[in-house]
Amino acid sequence: MSTVVPASFDEVQAAVRAVRAAHAGARLLPRGGGSKPALSAPRVGEEVLDLSALAGVVEYNPGEYTFTALAGTRIVEVRALLAAQGQYLPFDPPLAERGATLGGTVAAGLSGAGRYRFGGVRDFILGVRLVDGSGELVRGGGKVVKNAAGFDIPKLMVGSLGQFGVLVELTFKVFPASVAHTTVRRRYAAQDAALTALGNVYTARLDIDSLDLLPGSDGSATVAVRLGGLPDALPARAEHVRGLLEGGDILTGADESSGWQSAAEFAWVPAGWIVTKVPLTPRRIPALEAAAGSLQTVRRYSSGGNVAWLAMPPERNSGAAGEEKGSAVQELDRILAGLELSGLVVFGPPELSRSRLRIGWRSGQAFEQRVKAVFDPAGRLPSY
């Protein structure tokens, strides 16, 4: 499998147009930092389009709270640039320390725990430039917040997984960053009590940055609530949250930030395990917890219980001898389909076919196929 490393939009266009010239049935796989291995590992017949050289911030206007950067720009670089001006990306893009890029974050549609307050990547992307499957350079959206330029192509690219085009440039809006953070965390012996506490915080009229639920292996669960703002105001706000949780520990400084950093980098996941993202609602957590009991999983519910992250070993501990590697994904696929939930495998063995990275209940396939036919009529880009 070969790799192409373009350094300009023209070179990306040339690479897309040339993919069929190599051999029939070839596809071009766009890849940024490789931080999501299940999505970025090439399969048979795929040529890698490494966008790491297509990097750098093109324009940054702190006064307008917007910036434009090339798709291969790493999140850590953007984060440092914004921090120098007291600004940040509120959707809290994950896997930054693992090399995640802007283009890969948008294509995978991934947001971190910080999306709870202000929304996900879809709410902050303003404009894109992409090379479609015909090798044409396409622009969508714009570089200012007040923009209504026809069909909303930028949002269409969020979670598209590179099927419709190769992202080459992106524009985002940003927000002022909080001066300080405090986290209130309480462990409950029973998961039902933790879910009740989660609901109490979820429905309260509070400005909360993040709200996560961490189930334990013994039936316990921990609720973590992150607050951001002015240092003088945080203690009183934290005590208010403690009242809703009926207790808990208050964390500040390094102890506070390390837990959220671990979540963002998936440091809580054992090496080599599969990680699947599952959108849901807090009311559906008990059903997923019960149904997933047959799998050896470690779970984290983020964004107030609206996103589940399920980590599991690549092979089931039980089952018939000689089951193929990846049987855990097959079992989770069955479970999610039964619950009418969908999942995206973000970390996983490279031998999983692309069609098995999106698992569980699927909707909107007819629409997706129509969009694919418009943006990639020759089938030069991946399909899922």
Choice among 219-223, 252-256, 326-330 with the minimum mean pLDDT: 326-330
- The four Cα atoms 17, 20, 23, 28 give a dihedral, to 10 degrees, of 70
Can you give the pLDDT at residue 324? 45
Statement: residue 144 has pLDDT above 80 = no
Can you give the pLDDT at residue 26? 81
Statement: residue 44 has pLDDT above 50 = yes
Q: Which residue in the block uniquely carries the two structure tokens 């001006």? A: 85
Can you give the pLDDT at residue 70? 98
Q: At what angle do helices 234-245 and 191-203 cross, to 10 degrees?
A: 130
Can you give the pLDDT at residue 322? 36
- The rounded distance, in Å, linking the Cα atoms of 268 and 311 is 9
pLDDT tens digits, 167-193: 999 999 999 999 999 999 999 999 999
Statement: residue 292 has pLDDT above 90 = no
pLDDT tens digits, 18-33: 986 545 568 999 999 9
- The rounded distance, in Å, linking the Cα atoms of 187 and 215 is 9
**What DSSP state is assigned to residue 323?**
P
CA 239 remoteness from chain centre: 31
Average pLDDT over the chain, rounded to an integer? 92
- The rounded distance, in Å, linking the Cα atoms of 141 and 151 is 8
Choice among 39-53, 308-322, 368-382 with the minimum mean pLDDT: 308-322
Residue 352: HSE in the Cβ half-sphere, 13 Å Cα cutoff:
28
Can you give the pLDDT at residue 244? 97
Instruction: Say how many C-beta atoms besides its own lie within 10 A of residue 160's C-beta.
Output: 22
CB contact set of 174 (below 8 Å; sequence gap of 6+): 65, 66, 67, 82, 87, 88, 89, 90, 124
- β-strand partners of 214: 222
Closest CA to 376 of 15, 158, 139, 135: 135
Task: Return the structure tokens found at 312.
Answer: 């599991």
In what side-by-side order are the strands of the sheet with 298-302?
A: 249-251, 180-188, 221-229, 210-215, 298-302, 307-312, 274-279, 342-347, 358-360
Can you give the pLDDT at residue 21? 53
Can you give the pLDDT at residue 143? 76
The 10 Å CB-count burial string (b at 16+, else e) for 315-353 is: bbeeeeeeeeebebbbbbbebbeebebbbbbbbbbeebe
CB contact set of 364 (below 8 Å; sequence gap of 6+): none
- Quickly state the pLDDT bin for 98 (edges 50, 70, 90): very high
pLDDT tens digits, 104-140: 999 999 999 999 999 999 999 999 999 999 999 999 9
Statement: residue 149 has pLDDT above 90 = no
- Quickly state the pLDDT bin for 320 (edges 50, 70, 90): very low
Can you give the pLDDT at residue 306? 97
Domains of the chain: 1-177+363-384 (3.30.465.10), 180-264 (3.30.70.3450), 274-352 (3.30.70.2030)
